[in-house]
Structures are given as structure tokens and as C-alpha cells.
Structure 1
């Protein structure tokens, strides 16, 4: 029978498109078995297509099925068929191709199931978030606080992961838990006091003292990772509370505001903060969707090594979708009144979401994980879903508060 080469794990140390691969370790191929196992190691953050491999033991050329990609930290299961000059007696093409067809069918079913999960849970999250944004007030703030708590736990688990902890000393677990609770309290304190500066300063002082007074030798890496956690997971999300609940000026001169139903609080509840929050969230969703579709259809040029799947073509498509959504909603909702302000808001939303996504991708890359958690089936963790929103709230709030005269009304 024609020998089969079964690749379970690909880890390439050195491979170029114009050269043959070199193996870190060669596995013995028993003569009695038709299945052979090869362990390869690709260069970091490479996305290569293997075409031909020379099997020295049998002196045959093994051709791998087109489309097999090697990505960093990805386990690839594939079966490659050795193609000798002839087929042994009694062997049919179906016997040779059977394992490959079964593996392809199983992979297709798995992808379809994953896609269904993403769509179902994505729609559920979208409807829930829409209701929470419309409710505003304490409902909006408590939901933000809960998401911040889970996101902070995920962040500190990433800091403690092997990929990051091997190069630094992570904070002790009790400090991580205290930081997670402090991050969850920040949005609530923001709504109650209207300002978060004093609370953040006090929290940073408490965490620094706890780290400096621990029994073990305190390390700067512990302090820096804890402080960044307070900033990234606690302080930045508070601006969504300031945007939604702090900009309470009614937008009464808009057609939608005049017709806002009494059941939802009447005209006074149609505020600048509500409109700005709806436009920002919708623009970010449009940017992610257009970037995904554009990258799948036209993506050829990688954007950055931090996130190898992102392409310049997808980025341009996402920017266009974000600006178009912001401009369209500004016309429908009559806010902001200036068309140039609506375009500027779309650009700001896009770059805030892009760099928020890249920041979380950098943390996950150093941690050596694909997702920040497994809380949401098909989507990963909380940080995987809200990374595009972390910086955006602060940018939009600053834009509306300082650059739009009379909040753009």
C-alpha cells in the first residue's frame, strides 16, 4: 500500500518557500505501519503553505494537499498521501483518499457548528446590550461593572500564564483578586460621584502598598502589570458610564427625541449620551463586520505580526464601514448636526476599536493562548468581545465633551 504521512502537530524551526524543511526531531517510521508521524516547527507568526516534502527513508516525494496552512500556536491535523509512481496491487484510490476525505468532512462540520454558536450567541449578546444601553442609569452601570470584574479576572490570569510569567514575576493571587474587585467598583463610583480620578488614585496607592509590603521580594514587573490592569480593565471602561449617563443634556431638537415614547421615559431620556453611545457601538460593530468580510474576500497584505489574520484590505473595509454607519446614523438621529463631526466620530471609533483589538491580541500572543477565556461559547472570553470598546469610550467622551460645541446638538 502507498504509505501515509500523518501530521499531528506542526512546529517548524526553519522553513522557507524555496527550501526543504528541516526537522527538529525525526520520528522512526515502522515498516509495518502505513501511518507515519512527523513533528515540525514553523517560524513565529508565519502563515505558509506546504507543497512538497522529500521523504529520505523511502526516497519519495510526498505531496501535501493544497491549502494546509501553518499558523503559530495552532495544532493542525492533516493526512498527506504519498504519491509513488505506481499503486500497489489490490489498493484502490478510495482506500488511499478515504482518511483525507473523512478528516475534511469532520473539519467542515466542526467549523459549521462553531459558526452557528457564534451567530446565536452574538445575536443574544447584541439584543441584550441594546436593552441595557436604552435602560441606562444603574442598570447600565451594574452590567458594565460585572463585565469589568470578569474581564479583570481574565486579564490577571493571562498575566499569570506561562508565556508571560516566564519572563516576569506576576502579582500574587490575592493582589490580583483585590484589583479585580477594585476595577468592578470603579464604574459604580463613577456614576455615584460623577468623577473617578480620586478613586483611581486611592486604588493605585492601596495596590502599590500591598505589593511593596508583601513577604516576598517585591518586583517592578508586579507593580507595572497590576497598575496596567487597573488602568486597562477598570479606569478606561468607566468612560462608557460617563458617556452614557454623564452627558445627560436632552437632544430635544431631533425628530427622534420629540417622538421618544413615554414608556421609555419621555423626551428627557433622549439624551446626547444615549445617542452617542448608540452610534459608537453600532459603528464598532459595523467596523468589525466589514473588516471581517473585506479581509476574507480581498485580504492579501498582512497588517501586523501581532494579529496575523488582519490585513490592510480588511482594515480599509472596516474604516469605510465605520464611517458610513456613523454618517448614516447621524442623519437618522439628527446628531451630531455637523456632517464633518459625524465623519470624525466614525474615524475615532474605528481607530479606537482597532488599537483596542491589537492591544488584547498582543497580551494573548505573549501569554500563548488563543482566547482570553471560555465564558461565551464560540466567542471566547469577555475580553475577546469587548477589546474593541475599551479605548473607544474614553476617546468618544473626550471628543463630544471638548470638541463638539454644545455637545453637537
Structure 2
């Protein structure tokens, strides 16, 4: 039985990995549309969990609002509209969600409003930073300076590279946490997720730092390795936050998995929980640290 589950888990993980590599490589609308589909499926799982907890969220309104938010994020990232227009979508969506709940025959509760707005933030605003990260150009950070070595192929953009490096750090943290925790884990990290151990987190942190420093070295930046280590630490910590946040939501709903979309992995939300908080952190850290790269 365990072997069968492991094979399913391995096959599902392989398919997800190949799909992820393909859409990050393609970028552009292929990437943003794929993110939109993943977000839609994850939101359905999130609202299913909310209903198990006795909450009546504004499901359809929030689903639509998140898709509009992602669409406008892609447009602004490519320069078709101003960032101000894109930024306006979030507060307008929040107002629309509250308005929808007000118009229902049974007025929405605090829990209904909170779950709906959190869904907009958790699976709309946060994932939109993957689109921002993938579309990030060197000129968005520093004019007349190459953040990628000049002898690299022109098809490799800064946005592609930083997106891949972030994904690899998350994968490194997840794999390191799992195997180190299985082998050496003795001290539980949190009652929310008893299988998570302090030893596992340390192992995952090590692999995330290792991958981050390697990418910093490849880019030949000033202080590249140190910057890579710093980003690796942040990615590991916020991957953990994403993982534990989803575990908290599932526990409140009384569910083991968010769904059964991926054999051996559970639902979509179970698979992407580590990927929700990390892109925003990396996006803003890269922008803030870009002057240090050429100092």
C-alpha cells in the first residue's frame, strides 16, 4: 500500500515538476493563464474548506475578482496599462465582495466577509506576484546594467531566472524538510502540523540556502552569494509559513487534505501552499537589494 502511494506521489510530483518547468520557460500569457487556472482550482478547494467550517463566503464574486486581478497584473507587467490601474483592482474587489454579501437574503457574518477577503488576498493578491516576478526585467530595477552575465543566451531573462531560482529554493526546502525530518526528526515544530519537525526545518533551510547561494554565484553579482543566502533564508521561512497556514485552515475545517486532485499529494492547495507567500517576498527583496548588486 505504501509503495503504491509512493509511486502515485512520485508520478504526480514529476508531472507537476515538468508542467512547472514548461510554463515558467514559456512565460508571457502561457504563464499567467496557467497561474489563473491553478488559482481558480485552489480557490474552489479553499471555499470548500470554508463551508466545512460553517462559513458562507462570496465564492463566485471572489473567484471572478481574483481572475480580474491576475489579468490586470499581467497587463501592467507588460506595460499595457499603468501600475496604478492594476493596483486599484484589489480594493475595488474587496468592496465588490462586501457589497455582494450585503445583498444576500441572509446578511453575511464577520466570518463570511473574512473568509472571502482572505481568499482574495491568499489566492489572488499573493499569487499575482508570480506574474510580476516572471515579467521582471533588468530595466525595471537598474537602467544600463546587466543583471545577467553578458555571455548568457538572450532567451534567458532576469524574470525567468529569478522565478526558477525561487521555485528551486522552495522545492529544496520541501524535499530537505521531508527527508531530514524522516531521518532525524525528533522534536515537533508545531501542534498544527505534528509531522513537521525542527530538525526537518533546519534541513530544508540548509538546502534552500545552498540553492540560493548557488544562483547568486552563477549571476556573478557583487555580494551575490550573500544575497543568495539571504533570499534562501527568507524563501525557506515563508514557505514554512505557507505550509503551516494551510495546515491551520484544514484543521479548522476538520479535513486531512484540501482535495484529491493530485494522487498522493492531496489537493491543489496542498501542493501550492509553500508557493503562496514566497513570490511577494522575493519580488520586493530583489527590488530593494538591486542597488547593492552594483555597489
**Do these two structures clear the TM 0.5 threshold for a shared fold by scoring above it?**
yes
Question: Out of 134, 139, 145, which is 1:244 matched to?
Answer: 134
1:182-238 per-position Cα deviation (integer Å, ceiling 9, x unaligned): 212322210112433201111111111111121113311111111001000111000
Structural mapping, 1:84-95, within 5 Å = none
- Tell which structure's C-alpha radius of gyration is larger: 1
Question: Out of 16, 23, 37, which is 1:132 matched to?
Answer: 23
Given that 1:286 and 1:325 are in contact with CA atoms closer than 8 Å, whether structure 2 keeps it comes out as: yes
Aligned to 2:50: 159
- What is the distance in 1 between the residues matched to 2:139 and 2:8? 40
5+ long unaligned stretches in structure 1: 1-109, 261-266
- What is the distance in 2 between the residues matched to 1:295 and 1:126? 22
Given that 2:36 and 2:70 are in contact with CA atoms closer than 8 Å, whether structure 1 keeps it comes out as: yes
Question: Out of 190, 208, 212, which is 1:326 matched to?
Answer: 212
Aligned to 2:159: 273
Runs of 4+ in 1 over 6 A off after TM superposition: 406-409
Aligned to 1:12: none
1:140-184 per-position Cα deviation (integer Å, ceiling 9, x unaligned): 1110011011111111010001xx21xxx422xxx2122112212
Q: How large is the RMSD of aligned CA atoms in angstroms?
A: 1.9
5+ long unaligned stretches in structure 2: 78-82
Q: Matched residue of 2:135: which SS? A: helix
Question: Out of 179, 183, 200, which is 2:62 matched to?
Answer: 179
Structure 1 residues 192 and 365: CA distance shift in structure 2, 3 A: same
- What is the distance in 2 between the residues matched to 1:211 and 1:224? 11
Question: Out of 189, 195, 211, which is 2:72 matched to?
Answer: 189
- What is the distance in 2 between the residues matched to 1:330 and 1:381? 33
More helix by share: 2
Q: Matched residue of 2:23: which SS? A: helix
The question of 1:258 aligning with 2:151 is answered yes
- What is the distance in 2 between the residues matched to 1:359 and 1:247? 31
Question: Alignment length, in residue pairs?
Answer: 284
- Relative contact order (C-alpha < 8 Å, sep 6+): which is higher? 2
Structure 1 residues 141 and 114: CA distance shift in structure 2, 3 A: same
Given that 1:242 and 1:397 are in contact with CA atoms closer than 8 Å, whether structure 2 keeps it comes out as: yes
Question: Out of 157, 160, 180, which is 1:294 matched to?
Answer: 180
Structural mapping, 1:293-372, within 5 Å = 293-334=179-220, 338-372=224-258
Aligned to 1:203: 93
For normalisation by structure 1, the TM-score amounts to 0.66
Q: Matched residue of 1:230: which SS? A: helix
Once structures 1 and 2 are overlaid, which stretch shifts more, 141-150 or 239-248?
239-248
